[in-house]
Structure 1
Amino acid sequence: MTAAHCWVPVPDGSPFPLQNLPYGVFSPPGGAPRVGTAIGDQVLDLSAIWAGTPLGADLAGGSLNRFLRRGPREWAYVRGRLTELLTGTEQRRLVEANLYPLDRVRLHLPFEVADYVDFYASEAHATNLGRIFRPDGEPLLPNWRHLPVGYHGRAGTVVVSGTRVRRPAGQRRGPDGAPVFGPTRQLDIEAEVGFVVGVPSAPGEPVPVGAFSDHVFGAVLVNDWSARDIQAWEYQPLGPFLGKSFATSVSPWVVPLAALEHARIAVPPQDPAPLPHLAEQQPWGLDLALEVRLGDAVVSRPPYRETYWSPAQLLAHLTSGGAALRTGDLYASGTVSGRLPDQRGSLIELTWNGRDPLRLPDGSSRAFLADGDTVTITGWAPGADGVRIGFGEVTGTVVG
């Protein structure tokens, strides 16, 4: 099936061709939130397509969670049926009556976040931070190549793209070494990819690497905003806390794993070989290309394909101690960075902790974010028939 067979117009270069069909939650003008799928520059109301059925009831609320809980067989049925409706004449009038221009609807947080976990899965990112903070030591700590390092965030601070991000206040080290309290002076971004859990698991039963697609529905773009000076003061010995828990922005569209089949690749060589419970059973690295813009200026193009730990390995590690998955769990890759200077996914790397400020086209410079700055992250993956699968964007503006 090619994009040309879709009778709904899909503009050239659209992130949402027929081969994508991402899911989100939207409100039409004057209407209540409901589940939809993006096709071209329109959104189709799925609750109307399945109105009067149990599936329709699950699609009629302001969250994807009830649909996510249905599992892979139902996910595949809905995707297949949508493809039929968008390429054939059956029920065309029903579909046409429930299409809304994307620029006229309001997009919401697509799912209720149960738990949020952030990882540290990019070797380039971890190496860069090691060189910044431990210039005379080994960049990577001894455990890094043996397990995916991560921490728990706050689910309640996950917000949808477009939500303004208020500059957080907290303790940071003052000029004389004593702590002071006030707004962060080192507000940063982290370009990441997040994964959304649909099917829960039982407490005490680890999810093996090979069961990744039985539980995870799809992926989103993530900007895990960070207050570097607050983080630096508080993180020893227990790790990130207030410096990372004030806002995490996600894109409004969840791209299903089924749309990413053509993006699947092997992870980079892992040396030493992971312990058996973390060994990849099938390739779940992903060839995703990210782009970070500060205002109108592209400042980085991080390649997710170079990320050391796959999302399947992250899930297996997350549950290896017996933690149960819940519908709506979100876990993210951590900052995605590549080996080249213009592939770094955070300002702390791009400016080398402020030593080398970015020069922007308007003549200004940035070591870290200023009030009024807008950051936008976009992402693309190769899809079937040579199309590109887009994630839309995750954007946020800093306010004081």
Structure 2
Amino acid sequence: MGLKVYIMQKRDVKAMSALPLYISVSEKKSFNEFISSLICNTASMNLSITACNVVNTSTERALIVTNSDECLDVLDIDATKVIISDPHHKHIEVEQVYISKRVLKSVMKNYTIREKFQSRSVRSSKTCYTLICKSHNCDFLFRASDINKSGMFYVREFLSEHTCPIKDKIYPKFHATSKLIGGMVKQKFKNHKRTYSATEIRSDMKEDLGMNLTYIMCWRVKEQALEDLRGKPFASYGKLPAYIHVLNTTYPSSHIRMKKHKDNEFLYIFVALTIFIQGFDHCRPMIVVDTSYLRGLYSGTFVAACTMDGAGHIFSLAYEIVDSENDASWTWFFQNLKEAYGEREHMCVVSDRNPSIIKVVAGVYNNVPHYACMWHLWGNVKKIRKS
């Protein structure tokens, strides 16, 4: 069975290993008319399972259909009986079936890049898709059509041989759009710890596909790939209410606050989880505050408050995102910090010598002194010595 089906069943059924095999069965009237694909339990439905109409969803994102009554070996299945859903599928031939026109167009786009030629569409609609070589008097032809208004496309004709001159076949950068190349390299951005720069993209495209891309083009490719994987930045801000709801549900009694402008635009967010609040009672009565500037499409400042536990390890207390370091943002931060943690005997606040922090701490707290961080002081001393 496919991985997605297995995960869904594993989540709902604890004794998954005790169940009989689950398979996907596709009923069909003919090869050109697929009716449905459903999950069947062979024990509960008393089915006599043969290879007829078996749909294998675990191989290369494909639905595989066969009419054989013998035992199936996936390696022996005819490639033309595959419903292709991978937009980067490389092998193309007559009688292939693509799950949608969008996938088919992406496959052909990648094909023209790999083969280094330029194509143009002579017919493109909901029911047909025809490509020819842009060079005149060339025999290259690709023709596919819709299968009974199902949305799937069947390859009717594919003449891959070119009869055009070599000078007409090579167009190094014509098809190199950021969206297309971004779809080809986005798998390398799934690991957020990996750094894959525009220079590396440029080198890989030159080595793998023979394309000479500019640096700015590769930078756009990287931005497009990250957008495809993580969405647009402004959309992430729209998910903050849902994120806060999940945090409050997962960590009850947490202190989470968000402040917005009058026009409903994001301004501040403060997060102090329950485990942070409960743990502070067993830590030293000292709060260290520091900031880091956010870089990206939307600027801002990340504020973190932490302390030290009995073993001398750093223990997080709260974090906040604000627009900038000013009196209003620091006042909002320390008011929420006091509301979440209160005041303790011999408590103090440690930070750099930011005037706003010193002023706000004295105004929000009654008997909590402010101390300058030695690390920041030493950094200032080194700057003075260099100057």
TM bin (shorter chain) = under 0.3
Which one has a bigger Cα radius of gyration? Answer: 2
More helix by percentage? 2
TM-score, normalised to structure 1, is 0.19
Greater RCO (Cα-Cα under 8 Å, separation 6 or more)? 1
TM-score, normalised to structure 2, is 0.19
